[in-house]
Structure 1
Amino acid sequence: MNSTADSPARQRAPWWFNLAGQLLQPWVRIRRDPAEPTTLLQAGVPVCYVIERDGFSDALILQRACREAGLPNPMQPLAGTRRRRSVFALARRDGWLFGRNRRRNPNEPLRQLVRSLEGMPGDDIQIMPVSIYVGRAPSRDSGWFRVLFSENWVMVGRFRRMLALLLNGRDTVVHFSAPVSLRQMLDEADAIAPERFARKVARVLRAHFHRIRAAVIGPDLSHRRTVVDAVLNAEPVRAAIAASAAKEKISQAKAWRKAHKLVLEIAADYSHPVVRSASFLLSNFWNKLYDGIAMHHFDKARAAAPGHEVIYVPCHRSHADYLLMSYQLHVSGVVVPHIAAGVNLNLPVIGPILRRGGAFFLRRSFKGNALYSVVFNEYVAQLIDRGVPMEYFIEGGRSRTGRLLAPRAGMLAMTVRAFLRAPRRPVLFQPVYIGYEKLMEGKSYIGELSGQPKEKESLLGLLKGLKVLRQRYGHVALNFGEPVELTPLLDAASGDWRVATTDPEAKPEWLNAVTDRLAERIQININRAADVNPINLLALALLATPKHAMAESDLLTQLELGKAMLEELPYSDRITLTPMGPAAIIAYGEQMGWIQRVQHPLGDVLTATGERAVLLSYFRNNVLHLTTTAAWVACCFLNNRRMSRSSILRLGRIIYPFIQGELFLPWDEDGFATQMQATIDFFVRRGLLESVSDGRVLERSPGQDDGAYQLKVIARSLIQAFERYYITIAALAKNGPHTLTGAELENACTLTAQRLSLLNELSAPEFFDKALFRGFIQKLRERRVVWTDEDGKLDYDAALEGMVRDARVILSREVRHSILKITPGGDREPMADQPAHVPADSDDAALHERHVAAEHHLHQASGGTGAAADPTRE
């Protein structure tokens, strides 16, 4: 068994076979694994090689690898048998060589070997599995076209294999596995029939090749070949098919075909070559579109992932989110997740590419289609059962306002139920914050918020939208937040949650609560990983002024204050902040076209006009939650020069649940109080507030002072939220109890906000976003401020009317009067509004009296217990 055996072997091999080997030699460089496979063989025993797939090139590569390793030639006859070659393939085409078209049973070579040993009890044959991979893992520098023809799980045609050899032949791996004794296997088989024994050996060899291929090039993620059958054979799907056949009075076969069609509509068709090729194309695409893509805290996410089923749950800002996440994970050496995408993206040409990149498609609604619901749930369960990482957006759609949207927990509920059914691997939800400096969809978002219908996705629309590629969109940040583990949430909800795994159709009573809590935690952790870029800071400052303009000196001061506030009062340890200084931020904003400089002899003015101001509101809303505590404290001094510290804290506790529900803030009421204390101390250190009466009372400077101006800018980032709250309360009070349904109240609030926006030229489309009013009304229900009567109308406590008057603590008289005047209502008028202005020189006693009344009404309306204390008396 050495190279001297080659000479007779070459004589037996056809001349054209040897010629083809010589022609192929310059294009192929072989790396053997192990380097010395001769040590694996048993001396004196004939060896028969088995390769995974039939192919002319594989035979040539095998012959050369054996010759270079000093192994017996696979093209020579197998000693002791009638076989003309010492090699066979498990998976066969119609013919081994060009021109042949004979149909043969792939197990026939094994049966021949078994028959040979039956007549010679003392003889043996070594079966050596050999795996051949052409272009297993070309480097990123080798070009995307070569990657397209790299090794994968699909049995390719001859032409594709030839291209793979020409492009990737120098990266060929030949893996020799330890041989097995056919005699030993036959003795252990208890004399079963040769046909049955051959099938058994073939199964063992196929499993072996599958393991080796998975170890060398990664797992087989081709869903149509590995998941579709499993979905259709699952018991819930089979039951749903039977129910559909009975309900629609169709045959079982027709119902099965419907289910099969649904699975194909849903399922991804992951292709590693397509993903690798797309990474090369996207690299150039991102370079043309963005100035840089940064990932923060990815090392922490990578460290937490091993041993878990990872579900990536990013915020959803743009269609680019899908591609950015997959691209960044791929280039970082992490498996690309399978992404839940809306079926509206399953467009001609685009849909198949997305599907091969790991996208699986879901319809916007499952209502009225029980079979689709069962099939989709089973598909998700199969992904989780197989440990495939997933990605979906729990907001349900792209945010048009820049805020996180209220979560839609459908995918989360499916994930939880799939885990309960088969809790093999703990599930880890990985929140990701995606921050942009400019959006491709910006103009369309403005139109949709202004009432224009959402433009339906189409291939033509995509082609028209390619003009956006002419622009530059600045930098992008992907910040990985603190992961959320599912198991601790289940443990907290039910000590015996594992019992639920015994029934796949069970819906425990605590399931909805766990899902809601999970969704809230994810949204909170996304916000806790925000990236504050220069455009965010500019938007916070400029949009707080009536004409969205500031003197350059004032803007420099405000930017410095904003950065200092975020650094000294950290929201979380995963927040990232631009390193640019105030002057560099202004220069960058001008370069990006967000702000315009108006030169003036007394000092330049920076302004954001027209559409730019509206678009900037998106980027202000990205980070609005980071300034909420400071904005609340500053709001208390918009119409008051003095307030007691305890009053700010108590009123903050009362208003906090409503702000928390809208902005997904991380603290409980005690935590928010701690944040307020730290913020007050910061303002005192900066000279924006003065602490008097042994720290019990806080006082701001007169209105024309710089400190008062800076406080006003900070406050105005949150004031619109309070105006929306006031619109809701005023609409309820003006119409009276038992008059409006929840939907009617939402509509009245939206119309009032739209009209107020027109009258005041507000550049914030989200001000009249119906979803924000819906969320506030829901929070009022949860706090038992309002409730629904037997007729479906809203009822409320008399203290609600007091809130109309007591809003003067925050809102000016002009704003309150405007809202009350345009709010639609019946003949009933709310109680008269009182003057809002507090004179700068009023004494503490008058202020205290008004604050006590305000706190009393707010405390009652928000469901608090006990009488409100005097805010100044300790």
Structure 2
Amino acid sequence: MPNTTMVDSTVRRRAPWWFNLAGQLLQPWVRIRRDPAEPAALLQPGVPVCYVIERDGFSDALILQRACREAGLPSPMQPLAGTRRRRSVFALTRRDGWLFGRSRKRAAGEPLRQLVHSLEGVPELDVQVVPVAIYVGRAPSRETGWFRVLFSENWVMVGRFGRLLALLLNGRDTVVHFSAPVSLRSVLEESGEIGPERFARKIARVLRIHFRRIRAAVIGPDLSHRRTVVDAVLAAEPVRAAIAANAAKEKISHAKAWRKAHKMLLEIAADYSHPVVRSASFVLSSFWNKLYDGIAMHHFDKARAAAPGYEVVYVPSHRSHADYLLMSYQLHVSGVVVPHIAAGVNLNLPVIGPILRRGGAFFMRRSFTGNPLYSVVFKEYMAQLIDRGVPIEYFTEGTRSRTGRLLSPRGGLLSMTVRAFLRAPRRPVLFQPVYIGYEKLMEGNSYIGELSGKPKEKESLLGLLKGLKVLRQRYGHVALNFGEPIELTPLLDAASSDWRSAGLDPEAKPEWLNAVVSQLAEKIQVNINRAADVNPINLLALALLATPKHAMAENDLLVQLDLGKALLEELPYSDRVTLTPMNPAAIIAYGEQMGWIERVQHPLGDVLTVSGEKAVLLSYFRNNVLHLMASAAWVACCFLNNRRMSREAVLRLGGIVYPFIQGELFLPWDEDDFKEQLQATIDFLVRRGLLESNNDGRSLERSAGQEDSAFQLRVIARSLIQAFERYYITIAALAKNGPHTLTASELENACTLTAQRLGLLNELSAPEFFDKALFRGFIQKLRERKVVWTDENGKLDYDRALEDLVRDARVILSREVRHSILKITPGGDREPAAVVPDDASASDLHQRHVDTEQQEHERRTGIDRRHAEADIAKQEPARRDGAE
């Protein structure tokens, strides 16, 4: 039987009148959001409930009472049934003083000891303890003033006066987080023979850790004291050894070398400040409203659900300086901790640098070469962040993409992250890829200049002030798509069964480490692409830039947009790809509204055009989504110069060319999966009437060149045709100069010059056509495939497989294009048969059939309806058939 001295549960079930009065006075100032929304579902029916809050406070008790009443939970102000406690709530900390008193730890074990004593001798009695975290001002809305963010929730337990100001200013943004209840009886039985005093201390310690984790998850880790991180880094054994080595090498005192390392660390380290983050959030909300029409996040709930228990490393695509600000802002307003962001030291500008640093940025030099002390200090700082569970963000591409494509990843920061985890694998690491998609870029013009050979403008405060003119423009919508996360542990398990022992020696570098980092980097880029957002500007760019004059009759454009959307919907690239809901007519109207396309009205039908400069800028947004069209573009390319081909030839040639396309576009399939994708694409094109299937599906045929279906195929093909032209330029330059003649660097330069000249001669609106990085990637892929290799003198040699690639190119590229490339490619007088275009047909193996109807149509003096419209619009002949 319960002790007869216990308080009767029927006594004082209601809170005092003055408590209820205070609650009514506070009600207009407080708006509560419960997490979860229905906490009653967490409780076990019929078991007494005791709430535990993080700190003792009158306002917290009022908020808890109201939250429980609104959620239909037992009141915290009533006696706890079966015990002596007059209230069903207790706190872990209490305050001294009245106005400016600070919190101090109290004997939280006393209430717990009372509860334990109540359970002794009464085996049928149990109490479920429910931790409740209360945060005032976690996320002030856009309407709040800047002053309010200074009193938002943080790690400092403010006095009563500070809490009063927080309630008055931020009470309408109050979060009450209910955690799952803990059965005190079950925990007591599992603890065995532990005495009540020790048991109470243990539970209090567990509760404090729990509240710290919840607070870290809601408002971020407690990194208010930068000094503690700096001291930890300087005290680490690798840094101490590096300081000693630097002192010996430069013949300076140990103290001077230590000060040198300390100065480096202060240059690197973030100085995270909650008030600055809150203030920046308020400022950025107005900034984004002026710049963008909306910021959308897709699949964020999946990312948030996967994050608990992991060290999260955000690895977004990098296309603008706005990327990291957008990421941090969106994560913050969504209730997720703002990550620490690796930023180039070039952004550590006066005024701006300190603000970024207090917002979580830590700065790194572009190169660590020749400075081992800096390298060790930076790596140890990264390791300290990971060891403390601080979320991190960095860009694996290393720099902003100037072309719109994902760049080849750099493994430096990834390697540091992996090695930091190997050293202390206490918390598993999760990489979170993020695709960031824009409809217009602030840096667009500067990117075009850099691709054309102009030097990159150095970041400066004056340049930033000049750049404020961007506020005069609108940049449409932005999408942040969260891709499928990547766990590090399974990759390590696959690489080595004893990888855990690799961290015992911090200087050791396992032989499998580079392979793991490369695999991880590739997988991140693939998963970013698998989360692409296809906006209206992407679709317009795919269609209009595929025409020679970047003009298309409105009816044709409507059909092409509908075809593109249908292709992405019926053959989804990934379940995380998002597609604009706009119909083709709305897409055209939106493109006009954004100023990307212009309408030329005409009695025979309006024509939509893109001006020269805008066409160059628009190529950036076509490149964002090229990978989504890769399979369809390959099939269409096979029918650019061929009327008929066998299905087997399309698939076989696709398997040959796929490794090169895959390396450039970070496609997710292996060669067999790509062939399956090609099969599905062919079936789609047959269903749409763009191809005709004969001989039980073994033979494929397109319509005559002047037909609408052939035109639609050509538009799809031209999104990828420039890649094959770049490949042919590389092969031609290599073969024309001969083996043992060029180094990889010399070949890369020759290809770049050839592409630049070809672009000038043909007025190409795609600066990435002569991007040196793309040629470098193709040459590297040739080396990986053992098509070319380096001799003992560092020169390139090749085998007959190169001739096979040339023969395959004849199926895709017209004789005219191959002649042009060969003519301007630098090299000796040598003209090997492998690259000399001839008039003979391709082999029967490729099932090549010249489309004589189309060639005759191009020679005709008359022009069809589409040509007439484009001719009127541009006041000059517009050969829609291009290279054909």
Could you state the TM-score of these two structures normalised by the residue count of structure 2? Answer: 0.76
Residue 594 to residue 153, structure 1, CA distance change in 2 (3 Å): same
Q: Gaps spanning 5+ residues in structure 1: where? A: 1-25, 44-48, 63-87, 91-131, 174-204, 839-845, 855-874
Shift of 1:766: 0.3
Distance (Å, rounded) in 2 between the aligned partners of 1:636 and 1:134: 62
Distance (Å, rounded) in 1 between the aligned partners of 2:214 and 2:565: 49
Residue among 274, 285, 288 paired with 1:286? 288
Provide Cα deviations, 1:21-45, integer angstroms capped at 9, x if missing partner.
xxxxx999941559899999999xx
Shift of 1:273: 1.6
Matches within 5 A, 1:297-336: 297-336=299-338
Residue 655 to residue 137, structure 1, CA distance change in 2 (3 Å): closer
Kept in 2, the 8 Å contact 1:53–1:89? The answer is yes
1:742 alignment counterpart: 744
Shift of 1:286: 1.1
Kept in 2, the 8 Å contact 1:639–1:836? The answer is no
1:592 alignment counterpart: 594
Provide Cα deviations, 1:795-851, integer angstroms capped at 9, x if missing partner.
01134245445421100111100100000001322226344686xxxxxxx862555
Residue among 752, 755, 770 paired with 2:754? 752
Residue among 827, 844, 849 paired with 1:848? 844
Shift of 1:207: 13
- SS where residue 99 of structure 2 aligns? helix
2:769 alignment counterpart: 767
- SS where residue 31 of structure 1 aligns? helix
Residue 37 to residue 361, structure 1, CA distance change in 2 (3 Å): farther
Residue among 765, 773, 793 paired with 2:795? 793
Kept in 2, the 8 Å contact 1:30–1:170? The answer is no
Q: Gaps spanning 5+ residues in structure 2: where? A: 1-27, 31-56, 66-75, 86-90, 106-132, 176-203, 851-884
Shift of 1:358: 0.9
Residue 597 to residue 157, structure 1, CA distance change in 2 (3 Å): same
Residue 559 to residue 818, structure 1, CA distance change in 2 (3 Å): same
Kept in 2, the 8 Å contact 1:231–1:237? The answer is yes
Provide Cα deviations, 1:384-426, integer angstroms capped at 9, x if missing partner.
1111111110000100000000000111000000111111111
1:295 aligns with 2:297: yes
1:739 partner amino acid: T
- SS where residue 633 of structure 1 aligns? helix
Aligned residues: 722
Residue 505 to residue 382, structure 1, CA distance change in 2 (3 Å): same
Residue 223 to residue 368, structure 1, CA distance change in 2 (3 Å): farther
- SS where residue 339 of structure 1 aligns? strand
Provide Cα deviations, 1:316-372, integer angstroms capped at 9, x if missing partner.
011111011111111111111111111111111111111111111111111111111
Residue 686 to residue 237, structure 1, CA distance change in 2 (3 Å): same
Residue among 472, 475, 482 paired with 2:474? 472
1:611 partner amino acid: E
1:636 aligns with 2:641: no
1:833 alignment counterpart: 836
Comparing 490-499 with 656-665, which one deviates more in the overlay?
Answer: 490-499
Residue 423 to residue 278, structure 1, CA distance change in 2 (3 Å): same
Residue 37 to residue 250, structure 1, CA distance change in 2 (3 Å): farther
1:408 alignment counterpart: 410
Of all paired residues, the percent bearing the same amino acid is 81
Kept in 1, the 8 Å contact 2:138–2:174? The answer is no
Kept in 1, the 8 Å contact 2:233–2:380? The answer is yes
Residue 823 to residue 561, structure 1, CA distance change in 2 (3 Å): same
Distance (Å, rounded) in 2 between the aligned partners of 1:308 and 1:89: 31
Residue 206 to residue 252, structure 1, CA distance change in 2 (3 Å): farther
2:652 alignment counterpart: 650
Provide Cα deviations, 1:101-156, integer angstroms capped at 9, x if missing partner.
xxxxxxxxxxxxxxxxxxxxxxxxxxxxxxx9996647435433111233544699
Residue among 776, 779, 788 paired with 2:778? 776
Kept in 2, the 8 Å contact 1:428–1:483? The answer is yes
Distance (Å, rounded) in 1 between the aligned partners of 2:225 and 2:376: 18
1:673 alignment counterpart: 675
1:431 aligns with 2:433: yes
Shift of 1:771: 0.2
Shift of 1:54: 8.8
Shift of 1:642: 0.6
1:819 alignment counterpart: 821
Kept in 2, the 8 Å contact 1:288–1:469? The answer is yes
1:374 aligns with 2:362: no
- SS where residue 311 of structure 1 aligns? strand
- SS where residue 57 of structure 1 aligns? coil
1:274 alignment counterpart: 276
- SS where residue 625 of structure 1 aligns? helix
1:532 alignment counterpart: 534
Residue 805 to residue 138, structure 1, CA distance change in 2 (3 Å): closer
Comparing 211-220 with 509-518, which one deviates more in the overlay?
Answer: 211-220
Residue among 31, 41, 59 paired with 1:31? 59
2:100 alignment counterpart: 58
- SS where residue 720 of structure 2 aligns? helix
2:483 alignment counterpart: 481
Residue 206 to residue 260, structure 1, CA distance change in 2 (3 Å): farther
Residue among 138, 144, 147 paired with 2:146? 144
Residue 38 to residue 630, structure 1, CA distance change in 2 (3 Å): closer
Distance (Å, rounded) in 2 between the aligned partners of 1:569 and 1:135: 47
Kept in 2, the 8 Å contact 1:811–1:836? The answer is no
2:696 partner amino acid: D
1:341 alignment counterpart: 343
Kept in 2, the 8 Å contact 1:538–1:559? The answer is yes
Kept in 2, the 8 Å contact 1:687–1:707? The answer is yes
Kept in 1, the 8 Å contact 2:315–2:431? The answer is yes
Provide Cα deviations, 1:662-710, integer angstroms capped at 9, x if missing partner.
0000000000000000111111111111111221111111111111111
Distance (Å, rounded) in 1 between the aligned partners of 2:407 and 2:468: 28
Distance (Å, rounded) in 2 between the aligned partners of 1:526 and 1:556: 29
1:85 alignment counterpart: none
1:337 partner amino acid: P
Matches within 5 A, 1:97-136: none
Comparing 555-564 with 33-42, which one deviates more in the overlay?
Answer: 33-42
Residue 783 to residue 154, structure 1, CA distance change in 2 (3 Å): same
1:353 partner amino acid: I
2:496 alignment counterpart: 494
Kept in 2, the 8 Å contact 1:403–1:622? The answer is yes
Kept in 2, the 8 Å contact 1:31–1:172? The answer is no
Distance (Å, rounded) in 2 between the aligned partners of 1:519 and 1:805: 33
Kept in 2, the 8 Å contact 1:318–1:439? The answer is yes
Give RMSD over aligned pairs.
3.4
Distance (Å, rounded) in 1 between the aligned partners of 2:156 and 2:658: 57
1:394 alignment counterpart: 396
Shift of 1:301: 0.8
2:49 alignment counterpart: none
Larger radius of gyration: 1
1:116 alignment counterpart: none
Distance (Å, rounded) in 2 between the aligned partners of 1:795 and 1:565: 42
Residue 270 to residue 400, structure 1, CA distance change in 2 (3 Å): same
Distance (Å, rounded) in 2 between the aligned partners of 1:806 and 1:820: 16
